[in-house]
Structure 1
Amino acid sequence: MTPHMYAVRTSALLLTALLALTACGGGTSADADAESGEPVKGGTLVYAVNTEPTNLDPHASPQDITGLYTRPVLDSLVTLDDQGKIHPWLASSWEISADQKTYTFKLREGVKFSDGTVFDAAAVKANLEHIVDPKTKSQLAAGFIAPYTGSEVVDARTVKVSFSRPHSPFLAALATAYFGIQSPESLKKGPEELAKRVIGTGPFVIDEFTPRQGITYHRNPDYDWAPPTAAHSGPAHLEKLEIKLLAEDSVRLGALTSGQVDGIASVPPVNVKQLKADSRFTLQTKQAPGGNYSYYPNTAGGVFKDVKVRQAFRDGIDFKTVVDKLYFGVFQPAFSPISPATQGYDKSTETQWKYDPDGAAKLLDEAGWTGRDDQGYRTRDGERLTVRWPFLKAFAREQRDTLAQQIQAEAKKIGFDVAFDDVTVAEYLPKVIKGDYDLADFSWQRADGDALRNLFSSSSITNAEQYGQNQAKYTDKEVDGWLDDSLNTTDLAERAALYSKVQQKVNTDVAVFPVYVFNYVLGSSKKAHGIGWEPQAYPTFYSAWVTK
């Protein structure tokens, strides 16, 4: 997630209100070192990350890292491949009614949870009901199935799920870890217990989750229901899996190069070239689908209510050069709110707007910001052109705090005073609810182009009753119509055409300042093999193995 969507998501969890990104997909796997030979059974793989979840229950938590921590434990009804195709997993087949309001699933036989509970239709119903239960305080999953009206247990192996209207993104949502199927018995233990431990049917079982340290797992010896997209079947190769929290980039990289861990997340861009050149290690990258890391102007109030001012900010800053220099080409400059890896991405957005400081100056003149104060900032009627940016610096990752400072310096050249407000997590949410900000920033990983609906539908604007991802507070009837139409069809081409219109319109209206496309950069020892990827750019460990 990711500052700042990760930071935003964390604040939400602490405040039980924030709805935020992305998500994890199905169970695809790719060998990191194909020529390494037959997998070795046993051993422990240690993997270091730079963030941790505050809540292990993916039904409640919106954090990306929650998906990473729980995917080894939780299977899903279906899985999603990189081309957007849905495959069976715990569900062996499904049918969609003619009006696209009802999904009927046939379930696999012989599946059981690690606590001994049998997986059946009642378990599926219990999970979906848990997600939409207000007591769960779901910050993400419930929003993915807003039209859900209920589930019917037809028989032990058949469950019927109903919606009040067509809802085409449902299957893709089911493939995420946020809809991972948990033991119905464990769901009865309540939110406090689920925040510390989840129980599923997956290839691993949690031993212990220790905040600020990490999480350990052991192999589920009974596992025999991997999806057809997986690299192997049966139990996991590893005997044990350990994920350690090492927040500092230098510490995490040092742990890898010294042999203390087998792999790390988020290799610092400055060290990518160095790691590539070292024969002891393998470097893998995966471009993340979903929302790019972007800045979202508050279009409903403040200085960015004026589209000319928004366009001046976007066009007057050389985002491409800043991104290229800071990230050494590891992250690509963004031009659309969604990444090229997302179903429905419109490549034509890459030429829709460009860096134009002279044009930006003219736009500010036209908007009335013609004066200059003694520090060189634009003024109008004695008021400085100030952009208020609540920034959770403590949660900044991928050098986003450094990036923000560089953008601040570039903005000053065209007359904007970008003022950071280093807020606490307790202070952030009230500002978003009240609209007391000019700029917000986050990324949000999700394989489905329906991410656009969450980011720009007027129904996704935050208010006192809900937290939505539309932090631009953007409202447009055409965009709302296209996004609603996208829910009515499962045809990927039709949906892509609608998503293209949305991308073009929000760029025209400057409802987003795209910054960069996030790439998950994974470094591993040559002793670690088979670390795979989910479609939403998270590593998977089901087919992983280690050599001595």
Structure 2
Amino acid sequence: MIRPLAILAIAVALAGCDGKPEQTAATGTPAQPQTGGVLRVAFDGDPNCIDPQQAGNNTALNVGRQLVDSLTDQDPQSAEILPWLAERWEVSEDSRQFDFHLREGVTFADGSPLDAAAVKANFEAIVALGARAQLAGTYLAGLESVEVTGPSSVRVTFKQPNAQFLQASSTMSLGLFSLDTLKRNAEERCQGALVGSGPFTVKSFEHNRLVRIEARPDYRWPSSIAQHQGRAWLDAIEFHILPESGVRLGSLLSGQIDVNTSVPVQDEAVLQAQGVPSINRPNPGIVFSLTPNVSRAPLDELAVRQALNKAIDRSQFQGVISRYQKPATSVLASSTPYYQDLSSHLAYDPAGAEKLLDDAGWRKGADGWRQRDGKRLGFTLDYWQATTPVLELVQQQLRKIGVELRLNKSTIGQVSLQQTSLDYSLWFFNLTRADPDVLRTVFLSPGRNVNVRAPLPLDRLLLDSAASLDGQKRGALIQQASAELLDLGHVLPLVEMATVTAFRDVVHGLHYEASTRLQFYDTWLAQPGGH
């Protein structure tokens, strides 16, 4: 089982991070949950690919969580790893070997057994997906073998110590699919050809319009931290794609949708005044950041990257972000295990930024823009998230030192294509995970490598932090790696996110799991016949 030292270190790091729903209005809850009804949920963007073994964006993972079960689960309050499909497990002293003992009688929605052979096939299929497995592939980096040691026992062995893997086994990214699903090509799976063992199955997926999933009647193996047993309370969930925040707000207030998963700051006061219930939770993991592509000039210049960091006044963000959010103080959110405040590395220093650029030969012209060799110092940022006010503030702050930031709001599909083809100067993103190994996932040069950089000593820090079994040593390595990422200008942290979800008062049992994605298994409607 997970070592007590690790549990203590994580629990301390998450102190003050409440995983329970924080309801802001009374709802007149009936005495007992009710079965039935279709829950209508609004997303702010198209999921693009709803296969959780491939996807990395929150809308996709919010769908995927309902389709798959995981070997373990993570308590959103204590961060303790608890049983789910695996009733128990053993971890070798060097954290290279993990033996899982599965619950018996679990099946996929097509009736096929979820046994040790299925776990082996899934993990090997994730590795075979390569770069398409955006998160899952990094969790299995260094996989040496997956052995079936009995009908319900499986051994996962890594080439090196892998302290992060037990937590990774709780994520939907390592959720399990039937053997027939694994035979499908990656694109078919993205579009919904998915058969998991979870409480819901895919009925339809229409891009930029709707995803519908339906309850599995024979489901009976929820996580050990679920609030009930048996099938999900809901009959179905419809995820409606509503990019405009005003449309989501109006639809919620008029009862056309039941849940708004993306409440912008400008709507919070309206919802509060109307007495609309909501829940919120800080997002652990990497904060919303800009990451430079250092293979492109002039972002290959350390002075330019450092100047961008010094030119950003993060204190100004508080005026345009949610009261549940705050300016970044590190690359990791404060709700992440082993977080350390590194705000001294993010100090606002416009004079220092100007000097760095002057010394690098980027001089201001008569129009106020910096130029060198006849070229203006500027970058285009393609993004899809609903965080334009923050980016507009950054744009204004960079303008003061003569740097042009061109903002281009696009679609998740177009931005994903640019990122896959490395056709970007700056990448705007956050990544939620309740483990600091998220740094290795994103920044390791032989991994996802969002900076498109050559190998550096930083890579050894990231690898060692994933391997260390000593909580104090791991924390020190995480802090050192975070500081180097900041000082080298490989990441420009902006805002520490919190997810705010508003819902009608007929919705009950809605809550976040440990990575601040929604878990709908325990959700129910007080008026199930009303839809």
Moved more, 245-254 or 136-145: 136-145
**1:397 corresponds to 2:381:** no
Residue 238 of structure 2 corresponds to 242
1:25: which partner in 2?
none
Per-residue CA distance 1:263-315 (angstroms, 9 max, x = gap): 11111210101101212x11211111111111123445523333333222222
SS in 1 for 2:484: helix
Look up the match of 2:489: 510
Aligned position for 1:377? 369
Q: 1:537 maps to what in 2?
A: 516
In structure 1, distance between residues paired with 2:437 and 2:150 = 32
Correspondences of 1:278-357 after superposition (within 5 Å): 278-279=274-275, 281-321=276-316, 323-347=317-341, 349-357=342-350
Q: Secondary structure at the match of 2:299?
A: helix
- Deviation by residue 1:158-197 (Cα, 9 ceiling, x = unmatched): 1111222222221222211111111223323443542323
How many angstroms apart in 1 are the aligned matches of 2:52 and 2:221? Answer: 21
Structure 2 equivalent of residue 368 of structure 1: 361
Within 2, Cα distance between the matches of 1:428 and 1:252? Answer: 23
Q: What residue number does 2:464 align with?
A: 485
Residues 384, 417 of structure 1: 8 Å contact kept: no
Q: Within the alignment, does 1:76 sit opposite 2:76 as a pair?
A: no
| Counterpart in the other structure of 1:263 | 259
Closer, same or farther in 2 for the Cα pair 1:390/1:399, shift >3 Å? closer
Q: Which amino acid aligns with 2:215?
A: R
Distance change in 2, residues 1:505/1:417 (3 Å): same
CA distance in 1, matches of 2:400, 2:246: 33
Q: Deviations over 1:316-343 (max 9, x none)?
A: 232331x223225453111211111212
1:165 alignment partner in structure 2? 160
Residue 438 of structure 1 deviates from its aligned partner by 4.1
Map residues 155-194 of structure 1 onto 2, 5 A cutoff.
Answer: 155-194=150-189
Give identity over the alignment, percent. Answer: 31
Check if 1:47 corresponds to 2:47.
Answer: no
Shift of 1:363: 2.8
Describe the SS at the equivalent of 2:280: strand
Judged with a 3 Å threshold, the aligned counterparts in structure 2 of structure 1 residues 275 and 139 are, in CA distance, closer, same or farther, namely: same
Alignment of 1:524 onto 2:524: no
Of 123-132 and 240-249, deviating more is 240-249
Query: One-letter code of the match for 2:499?
Result: Y
- Equivalence for 1:470: 450
1:422-452 superposed Cα distances (whole Å, 9 cap, x missing partner): 8898987897688765433221122210111
1:407-418 correspondence to structure 2 within 5 Å: 407-418=394-405
Once the two structures are TM-superposed, the CA of residue 397 in structure 1 deviates from its matched residue by 2.0
How many angstroms apart in 1 are the aligned matches of 2:417 and 2:28? 53
Shift of 1:533: 0.5
Structure 1: unaligned runs, 5 residues or longer: 1-27, 461-467
Report the CA distance between 1:523 and its aligned residue: 0.6
For the pair 1:203 / 2:194, whether they are aligned, the reply is: no
Q: CA contact under 8 A between 1:29 and 1:531: conserved in structure 2?
A: no
Query: SS of the residue aligned with 1:351?
Result: helix
If the length of structure 1 is used for normalisation, what is the TM-score? Answer: 0.85
Aligned positions of 1:100-179 closer than 5 A: 100-134=95-129, 137-179=132-174
Contact 2:46-2:412 at 8 Å conserved across structures = no
- Are 1:449 and 2:433 matched, yes or no? no
Rate the CA distance shift 1:405–1:175 in 2: closer, same or farther, 3 A. same
Taking the aligned partners of 1:174 and 1:420, their CA distance within structure 2 comes to: 37
Larger mean CA deviation between 200-209 and 71-80 belongs to: 200-209
1:274 aligns with 270
Task: Tell me the SS of whatever aligns to 1:327.
Answer: coil
The aligned amino acid for 2:95 is: Q
Q: Provide the C-alpha distance between the structure 2 equivalents of 1:86 and 1:246, rounded to a whole number of angstroms.
A: 35
Separation of aligned partners in 1, 2:126 and 2:494: 33
Tell me the distance in 2 between the aligned counterparts of 1:35 and 1:505.
Answer: 51
Out of 513-522 and 358-367, give the one that drifted further: 358-367
TM-score if structure 2 supplies the norm length?
A: 0.87
Task: Tell me, in whole angstroms, the C-alpha distance in 1 between the residues paired with 2:221 and 2:202.
Answer: 18
CA distance in 1 between counterparts of 2:346 and 2:44 reads 34
Counterpart secondary structure, 1:320: helix
Aligned residues: 504
Q: Does the CA-based 8 Å contact 2:451-2:490 persist in structure 1? A: no
Q: Displacement of 1:232 after TM fit?
A: 2.3
Give the stretch that moved more between structures: 52-61 or 289-298: 52-61
Query: Cα–Cα, structure 1 residues 250 and 168, in superposed 2: closer, same or farther, change >3 Å?
Result: same
Residue 131 of structure 1: CA displacement?
A: 0.9
**3-state SS in 2 of match to 1:352:** helix
Distance in 2 (alpha carbons) for counterparts of 1:88 and 1:422: 42
Kept after mapping to 1: 8 A contact 2:381/2:405:
no
Q: How far off is 1:126 after superposition?
A: 1.4
Structure 1 residue identity aligned to 2:328: A
SS of equivalent to 2:393: helix
| Alignment-derived partner of residue 228 in structure 1 | 224
1:252 aligned counterpart, secondary structure: helix
| RMSD (Å) for aligned C-alpha atoms | 2.7
Deviations 1:451-481 (A, max 9, x none): 1113332323xxxxxxx2432637531x222
Partner secondary structure for residue 303 of structure 1: coil
